[in-house]
Chain A
Amino acid sequence: MRTDSVVLTAAFGYLALLFVIAAWGDRRAEQGRSVIGSPTVYALSIAVYCTAWTFYGSVGRAAEFGPSFLLIYLGPTLAMLLAPLLIRKMVRIASTQRITSIADFISARYGKSSSLGALVALIALIGVTPYIALQLKAITLSHAVLVNYPATAEFRLADESFWSDKSFWVALVLAVFIILFGTRHLDASERHEGMVAAIAFESLIKLVAFLTVGVFVVFVLFNGPADLFRQVAERPELAGALSLDAVPGGAVGWVGTLLLAFLAFLTLPRQFQVLVVENVDERHLKRASWLFPLYLVAINLFVIPIAMAGLLLAGDGDPDSFVLTLPLAAGLEGIPLLVFIGGLSAATGMVIVETIALSTMVSNQLMMPLLLRSRRLHLSSQGELARWLLGIRRVAIVLILLLGYLYHALIGDSYSLVTIGLVSFVGVTQFAPAMLIGMYWRGATRVAATLGLLAGFATWCYTLLVPGFAQSGWIDASFLSEGPLGLGWLRPYALFGLEGFDIYSHALLWSLMANLGLLVGVSLFTRQSPVEQTQAALFTEAMNPGLQHTSLWRGQTTWGELQSLLNRYLGTLTTSRILADRRDAPTDGDPAPPALIARAEQALSGALGSASARVLINSVVRGEALDREAILSILDTTSQTLEYNRRLEQKSEELARIGEELRAANERLRELDRLKDEFVAMVSHELRTPLTSIRAFAEILRDSRDLPEEKRVHFLDVVVLESQRLSRLIEEILDLARLESGRLTLNPQRLDLVALTRQSVDAVHRLQEDRGVALEVDIPLDEAPVIGDPDRLEQVVINLLDNAGKFADDEAPCVRLHLARHKEGYRLSVEDNGPGIAADERERVFEKFHQIKRHGGSGKATGRPRGSGLGLPISRGIVAHLGGRLWVEEAPFLKGACLVMELPRAPDVV
């Protein structure tokens, strides 16, 4: 079953399947029905981070160095959690500037510098080569283990000639595959939808394969995790395997590796490719920010169990191949093949994306600027550039893989899988300062970034890359132990005598220190060119909405020049798409609008990289193409404007509130004014009535001297009566005025409400009898102590009785007074047997001058005087001043109106 032919068939079958998926994805993209427009696919494509190193190497590292392998995944977890802030900004920048790779990104940030772009591309090429070598090694090694087991897969590559070395053929097959798959057409945006679909599929395959072997080991070879770890604990030599003691460099190494993984995740060319360049929708980052970490958890879940099981069962075998050897040792056939395919998918996924990203960099950042500068590129016919670019990329792909093979053949044996990976990590981490600081600090300059990168790269070469050659025997080993020329303080693994670190934290510390120090330090002492200033502003303010819709272009060129430039480099089809928006057909001599120049440069950037695009645009545009002052002033003013806006908004809110208050106050004043007018009219009316009759009778008395005595007396009585009414009315008005202005002076004292009520009843008794009103008094109390002004309270009670008398039934008027204890006070109710007060009138009787219309007609009421309409408002005011209430309710006994006064009980005197 495990013959070469079966394994090779499976491997090639798998590659063919990938190719079909990629082709399908590309075709769907051309039809506009993208298969990668989902956050889940996006998260799975990011999982290209998990390479053969994860698949085989994690187990090896866990077996050797305990839980430190997890740091390689915890770092990216932190980075991904920040994705909605950090990576979103990168995506935004990349889409507005048509960035195609991390080299393009850094070059664009520092003024579209082609030299910086070339440097980044070069460092990436050298830095990532070990990583590609690692994948080749993993594929070859896993194949050898699978085919040769149980014989050990010892193989010494350097001893054999390269054509008998499987890795060489693996590299070649992969190169052909990637050329077929990644460089089929030149997309202006450098998006590879088919590739992303295939990568997402590969992520699923490697996850399933790893989980399968994990479940097999834990639940078939052992009886669950508890059994496994009990057996581990019984072996004294394994007891410390999972503790911090096993981690190289201890706590410092721990933090160093965490930081390393965090930064490398953002700066690895393939991660940049899938995270930023292949992102189709910024909103996918939200879901991916937790889905991808979840993937990492899943794929790492069984690493420790497999490593421990390997140490228990296989003992001294190569820990990197435990994933394969454990199921093989159990005599299985299917699972090892699945594992091999899983590892193959992890390795090919990485190699595909990494190689495509690197080849884009090589063609756009290294080759194109050279060709453009040397004027060797004679593009005579349309579309020739695309052929050039594809050609360069294809050659680059082959060269990159051969470089990977070379590294593998030269020093691949001296390091384990993870070790090789970490060397690359430290290498690409050198991009982090230039990239991340460039995104947030406008002052970082091109010179500083270049120097920082060079210093960091040199340090990395000296502390990690070169020692690798020494360990493989290509350089004298004394270089490591004694230092070059016997200079002990220059030992690569203990630079300047710094010892006690693991080699990666050591290299990371020195290289980042040099890199960051130069970047910041030199930036503070150098000046930016105009283009740099503009680009720096565009990068740091990428999330500023003010930049989105502003035309920043000013240079001048003609329609014809622009068209011929685009035609030459992008072909007629793309050109007509870019220039399509003009309604009227322009002539070649017409000036091209600024927005069009911007679109043209972006289109060129997508194909050639920003530095080359700038060179080309500047070759046809006269004057500064980008309006630098306009953009800088926009950026400087926007932050100020935002602040002003905020303050203005506050002020206007305040004003609106004050306006509302004023309006309400004005409304109230108007209402009061209206009430005052009404009041004055009422008062005048009320005063005029008695005054008119007084005047009339007085005039009769004056003019008619021969009036009978009897009549004279009657008239004089009327005058006196009306005068009394007048003075009473004036008294009441004065009371009311005092009450309303709060100047009413009361003389509160403790008094007995029972006595006061009886006194009041006595006072009105005669009068009521005269009017024929039957007065019934019911006071079942001996004493009712309250606090009040006796005169005023008496006034209230008399008023209530008087009122009741007035409104009682005409035929047999009857009034009933009742005083009783109610809760913490006393209630005095006065009811009559009149028509009562309708429910909606009950509150209105307390309004000034309100008089109830009597149903019986005014004629019958002559025997009893009308009220002034002020008695109840005054009474209510007095009662309220004494802390009580006065209201109208249904009469319980006599079925007429019932006025109730409630006063609180006076506190007991001690």
Chain B
Amino acid sequence: MNGATVRARLVALVCLAALLFSPPLVVVFDRSSTGSVSWLSLYLFAAWISTIALAAWLMERGQGDE
């Protein structure tokens, strides 16, 4: 895997993360079923951790390629 591929994937990941953290999706998850608080925080943490996991996978796999 060459540097350009990693770079393209990284940019795509950042775009994905920006999308996940921004209003249209955030509003979608700002719901609460009766008798519970909004799901928003749970969603944010889930999106956040998945993004980091993807980044870690991407970075550590390409270790030493450059």
Chain A residues in the interface with B (C-beta under 8 A): 66-67, 70-71, 74, 77-78, 81-82, 84-85, 229-230, 232-234, 238-244, 251, 254-255, 258, 286-287, 289-291, 293-294, 297, 301, 304
Contact = CB atoms under 8 A, between A and B. Distances in A.
Given A233-B35, A233-B36, A239-B37, A255 B23 contact: yes
Nearest to A305: B41
A752 B30 CA distance: 85
Contacts of A254: 22-23, 26
Given A82-B14, A243-B30, A289 B55 contact: yes
A290 B59 contact: yes
A81 B51 contact: yes
A81 B13 CA distance: 8
B23 A239 contact: no
Contacts of B45: 297, 301
A81 B10 contact: yes
Contacts of B22: 254-255, 258
Contacts of A244: 26-27, 30, 38, 40
A699 B37 CA distance: 123
A70 B44 contact: yes
Contacts of A233: 35-37
Nearest to A291: B56
B63 interface: yes
A750 B48 CA distance: 77
A205 B48 CA distance: 23
Interface of B: 6-7, 10-11, 13-14, 17-18, 21-23, 26-27, 30, 32, 35-38, 40-41, 44-45, 48-49, 51-52, 55-56, 59-60, 62-63
A242 B37 contact: yes
A297 B10 contact: no
8 contacts: A77-B17, A82-B14, A233-B35, A244-B30, A254-B26, A255-B22, A289-B59, A293-B48
A244 to B, nearest CB: 4
A85 B10 contact: yes
Nearest to A243: B38
Contact of B48 (A66, A232, A240, A297): A297
Contact of B52 (A240, A242, A255, A294): A294
A67 B14 CA distance: 21
Contacts of B6: 84
Given A70-B44, A81-B13, 19 more contacts: A67-B40, A67-B41, A70-B41, A77-B17, A77-B51, A81-B14, A85-B7, A233-B35, A238-B37, A241-B37, A242-B38, A242-B40, A243-B32, A251-B26, A254-B26, A289-B55, A289-B59, A291-B56, A293-B51
A294 B59 CA distance: 14
A74 B48 contact: yes
Contacts of A294: 52, 56
B52 A84 contact: no
Contacts of B32: 239, 243
Contacts of B40: 66-67, 242-244
Contacts of B37: 229, 232-233, 238-239, 241-243
A84 B48 contact: no
A842 to B, nearest CB: 50
B36 A81 contact: no
A448 B40 CA distance: 42
Given A77-B17, A254-B23, A297 B49 contact: yes
A417 B29 CA distance: 28
Nearest to A258: B21
A81 B19 CA distance: 14
A210 B20 CA distance: 27
Contacts of A255: 22-23
A232 B51 CA distance: 29
B30 to A, nearest CB: 4
Contacts of A234: 35
A232 B21 CA distance: 25
Contacts of A301: 45
* Ranked 9 nearest A-B pairs via Cβ: A243-B38, A251-B23, A290-B56, A290-B55, A244-B30, A242-B38, A242-B37, A74-B21, A67-B41
Contacts of A241: 37
Given A233-B35, A290-B52, A294-B52, A67 B44 contact: yes
B59 A85 contact: no
Nearest to B62: A286
A258 B17 CA distance: 12
Q: Which of B22, B37, B40, B51 lies at the interface centre, i.e. has the most chain A CB atoms within 10 A of its CB?
A: B37
A81 B30 contact: no
Contacts of B30: 243-244
A286 B10 CA distance: 11
Contacts of B52: 77, 290, 293-294, 297
Contacts of A84: 6-7, 10, 59
A240 B52 CA distance: 29
A74 B20 CA distance: 10
